[in-house]
Amino acid sequence: MNIVVVTAGLSVPSSTRLLADRLAAAVGDRVDGADLRVIELRDHAKDIANHLVTGFPPPSLREALDAVVSSDALIAVTPIFNASYSGLFKSFFDLIEPDALTGKPVIIGATGGTPRHSLALEHAVRPLFTYLHAVVVPTSVYAASEDWGNTDGLDTRVARAAGELAGLLTGRAPSPRPAEPELIPFEAQLAALRPQRSAN
C-alpha cells in the first residue's frame, strides 16, 4: 500500500509534522506492507505559488502532486490559522484536479494553539476533501497545544482514525465505537431536582 502524508507545518520542528508522523506510524502498524512517504509543503512553497500564477509546476512539485494522486491513501495535516486550514495547504490542493482523488481514503488532521479551533476540521478541511470526492474517515484528529502534555486522548483519536483507514484499505468494517453512556433527558434531570410533595 502506497500511503502519502501531506503536512503543511511551517516551522522546524513542527507540531503539524509531529501529528502527521503519529498518524503515519499508527497506520503503518495496522496496514501490512504500507509504504509511507511524507511530503513537507514548506519545501514546495515557492513552487506552489509560481505554479498558481504560471500553470507550470517544476519537476519536484509535479512529482509531489503525482505521488498524492497515485497513492492508495492519504494523510493530510494542516495547522489552523484564523479558524481554517493554512493558505499553503489550500494552495497545494488547489493544484489537484477535482476528480483526481475520487474514492481515495483520507485521514484529516490539524494542529492549533487552542481546542476552540478543532471544528475547523469539520467546517473547512472535510468539505475540501468531500469536494475532491475523497473518502474521509469518520474520525478527524485535532491536536491543541495542551494535547502534547497529556497524549492519552490524542493517542485514542489517532488509533481510531488509523483503524478506520486500515479498514477502508483492507475492506474490513471498522471496529465499533465503545458504547456511549446513557443520556438522561434534560427534563428528567430537572424533575429529579424538584422537591417532592408530601402525600398528605
- The predicted-structure confidence for 35-80, as pLDDT tens digits, reads as follows 999 999 999 999 999 999 998 899 999 999 999 999 999 999 999 9
pLDDT given at position 200: 53
- Is the CATH code 3.40.50.720 the one for domain 2-193? no
Question: Among residues 21, 17, 19, 1, which one has the least CA distance to residue 9?
Answer: 17
What's the pTM value of the predicted model, to 2 decimals? 0.84
Alpha helices in 4-139 (DSSP H): 15-30, 45-54, 59-70, 87-94, 120, 126-131
By the 8 A CB rule, do 89 and 78 touch?
A: yes
pLDDT given at position 132: 96
The mean per-residue pLDDT over the stretch 168-182 comes to 62
3-state secondary structure of 166: helix
Please give the C-alpha separations between residue 12 and each of 7, 93, 147, 192, in angstroms, as whole numbers: 12, 22, 19, 54
pLDDT given at position 185: 73
d(CA 15, CA 76): 14
pLDDT (tens digit per residue) in 113-138: 888 889 999 999 999 999 999 999 99
d(CA 100, CA 197): 68
Flag whether pLDDT at 106 surpasses 80: yes
Flag whether pLDDT at 180 surpasses 60: no
Set of cell numbers at residue 104: 481515495
pLDDT given at position 174: 47
Name which residue leads in pLDDT, 148 or 88: 88
Flag whether pLDDT at 101 surpasses 90: yes
pLDDT (tens digit per residue) in 135-171: 999 999 999 999 988 878 999 999 999 999 999 998 7
Flag whether pLDDT at 175 surpasses 50: no
